Structure 1
Amino acid sequence: MMKMSLQVHHKKKLNVSWEKTFTAKISMLPKSLPSNQKLLIHLRTVIVLQGFQNPLKVVYSHSKTPSTKSSSRYIPQAPDRILDAPDILDDYYLNLVDWNANNILAVALNDTLYLWNATTGTIERLFTLEGNDYICSVSWMTEGATHLAVGNSLGSVQLWDCTTMKSVRKMTGHSARVSSLCWNSYVVTSGARSGVINHYDVRQRDYQVATVSGGHTQEVCGLKWSPDGKYLASGGNDNMLCVWPVAGGEKHSQPQPLYSFSAHQAAVKALSWCPWQPNILASGGGTADRTIRFWNCNTGMCLNTLDTKSQVCSLQWSSTYKELVSGHGFSNHQITIWRYPALSKVSYIKGR
């Protein structure tokens, strides 16, 4: 088994700080052969003491940030910390990390879910699945940031209260693994390898409030609700990008897509809605595509296309700087910051 690690890049706070956003990607980082795999994450966080080691043997290392003048903007070129992640699954279609508003990172390592507190440096094991089951997706509830949805390989979604470290409920309904999750208030939306999308209202006894099929013929590997809750974007291994309107007076989508875009030439996993223009969606394609496309979902028009030269694994907007961060896999394994809407390159971090 390959040795895996988690790299954390620190965004130094200057005159204006980044929002609490992150960009994550799984990528092979070759030197001569791909003997190491690292998960790169951009975020704003609190520095843990150098050499800190917890009882679960996840080691944090800190590379000191060079001093800069207060008027300048420092963009690091090296990880702030490296966390060992020996059992993380090498599967492009899964979504195995998620950061919440309380500065806690959920990380799925095969069948076990860990919570890393970036403020205190502590790590806790939330649970381990039984048998041959493994974790396929994780997503924090946006309201309160204390409840975590976890999708598994057997087709169910578990809801965990991470303040009490207890399972709240288990929701079934998929016939295949649940590879993507996202929230719209109290409704968690799940996408499966079967191409089916389910909506679960976690407050109700009869939790499955809607099922959507027909938009995708292969695995749904990307899901994102728009900030205003009006649209759901879904990306699949069938190279399709679908935009679903919200059902009137509800928190789940309508059964038919508003748009079905086939412009990407590979799987569409990376999705991100613009926080200051909630009708603008950025989507990224896989290895055979390598592009980021920008869509106006009020009109259905593609506003621009950007060739990144690498597989697009993740996208995250920064409202502070009006920029977009993209995380990449094969072939350059880079992280790039783009100025929007000019799409000029602000900074480039090469994978190693």
Structure 2
Amino acid sequence: GCREGTQNEFRAVTIIKPSTPLEPEGKLHVTGLRNDYYLNILDWNTENLIAIAVGSVAYILNGVTLQTIENIDLNSNSKYISSLAWIKEGTCLAAGTSDGEVQLWDIETKKRLRNMFGHLSVVGALSWNHYILSSGSWLGSIHHHDVRVAQHHVGTLFQNKQSICSLKWSLTNQLLASGSSDGILSIWPSDPGVKLQTQPLKTIPHSSAVKAVNWCPWQSEVIATGGGMKDGILRVWDINNEKMIQSAATDSQICSLLWLPKTTEVMTGQGLPGNQMKIWKYPMLINSSELYGKYFS
């Protein structure tokens, strides 16, 4: 049965009929994508480059033409790329792999800059904080890598052995949010002098995996989260007060979310059963638009 708190969240939701669905400006057909909810295999950078992983290869596409301009290849039949993250400024791409490795690639020079080891399982999430790259594994550990130095592993966060399926540094680079498969959102401090941290600043439980996490660009203490299949609720939190500002039932698992600063909205990428994107007016979280694609089984 549902806990009382969960029932109240559903009652508070405002539902209106969405406006006419929008049409896409372009379509990208990709075959061979790994069907795994816990991976993060697509990223789009400020240089308008899209990186998307298919098996052991990451393809780099022009964001305007959607044409492939480069690719990076693990050259392996036994492992695959499980996460991707562009550095915030520049064309350096980080790739996590299924065997626990983190690689850095310079897309301009088409060279692999380095291999970083330490994880013992799938690296499912990555997030940059300037020259510090944080990586999360399916065994529950988060490693901080200083990509400038040879001894790159400069810190570890570990709370339990549940898979890390989302990582996101705040825009101020002072807080790191991590979401895990057991439904825990953890907020960690930026403390480069500590080698091992086992106690996050805050933990917020959800009823399903926390795969979608993103900080609000114009309110540094506000973060949005999206729950998995058993949850399906978009929530916006005030981290300072550990209070939920608003919530909305999306009626499906939430795979990703993005803030839209120009229109003060939140966009969610939905999984089963609808496989669509939804746009929500902030702060009331009223569903204003839906974008549909086509799902191929």
TM-score, length-normalised on structure 2? 0.88
**Corresponding residue for residue 304 of structure 1:** 246
Quote the offset at 1:246 in angstroms.
1.3
Match of 1:209 among 137, 154, 158: 154
Q: Report the secondary structure of 2:263's partner residue.
A: coil
Equivalents in 1 of 2:196, 2:186: separation in Å?
12
Q: Letter of the aligned partner of 2:85 in structure 1? A: S
- Distance in 1, matches of 2:77 and 2:256, equals 31
User: Kindly, what percent of the aligned residue pairs are identical?
Assistant: 40
Q: What per-residue deviation string (whole Å, max 9, x for no partner) do you get for residues 284-334 of structure 1?
A: 000000011111111222222211111111110011111100110112222
Number of the residue aligned with 2:231: 289
Aligned residue pairs total: 275
Q: Which of 202, 205, 219 does residue 163 from structure 2 map onto?
A: 219
The one of 163, 181, 194 aligned to 2:139: 194
Distance 1:328 1:253 in 2: 35
1:348 aligns with 2:294: no
TM-score, with length taken from structure 1: 0.74
Selected match of 1:235 from 179, 187, 204: 179
Structure 1 residues 75 and 99 mapped into 2: Cα distance closer, same or farther (>3 Å)?
farther
| Cα contact 1:246–1:254 (8 A) shared by 2 | no
**Alpha-carbon distance in 2 for matches of 1:233, 1:304:** 19
Answering whether residue 100 of structure 2 is matched by residue 155 of structure 1, we say yes
Matched, 1:111 2:56: yes
Aligned residue in 1 for 2:7? none
> What is the rounded CA distance, in whole Å, between the counterparts of 1:184 and 1:325 in structure 2?
23
Amino acid at match of 1:259: K
1:186 is aligned with what amino acid? Answer: Y
Other structure's SS at 1:200 match: strand
Query: In 2, are the aligned partners of 1:245 and 1:253 still within 8 Å (CA)?
Result: no
Contact (CA 8 Å) 2:136, 2:143: kept in 1 or not? Answer: yes
Q: For 1:296 and 1:121, locate their aligned partners in 2 and report how far apart those are by CA, in whole Å.
A: 37
Pairwise CA distance, 1:122:
3.6
Tell me the CA shift for residue 75 of structure 1. 8.2
248 and 217 in structure 1: CA distance in 2 versus 1, 3 angstrom threshold: closer
Shift of residue 248, structure 1, vs aligned partner: 6.5
Q: Which residue of 2 aligns with 1:245?
A: 189
Distance 1:307 1:238 in 2: 20
Deviates most, 317-326 or 127-136:
127-136
Unaligned 5+ segments in structure 2 are 1-18
* Aligned residues: CA RMSD: 2.0
Distance in structure 1 (CA, Å) of the matches to 2:185 and 2:191: 19
Question: 1:249, CA displacement in angstroms?
Answer: 7.7
Task: Output the CA distance in 2 between the equivalents of 1:328 and 1:119.
Answer: 24
Q: Deviations over 1:50-94 (max 9, x none)?
A: xxxxxxxxxxxxxxxxxxxxxxxx986233322231111010000
Residue of structure 2 aligned with 1:260, choices 203, 212, 217 = 203
Per-residue CA deviations over 1:28-66 (Å, capped at 9, x if unaligned) read xxxxxxxxxxxxxxxxxxxxxxxxxxxxxxxxxxxxxxx
| Structure 1 residue 255, shift from structure 2 partner | 4.5
Return 5+ residue gaps in structure 1 as ranges. 1-73
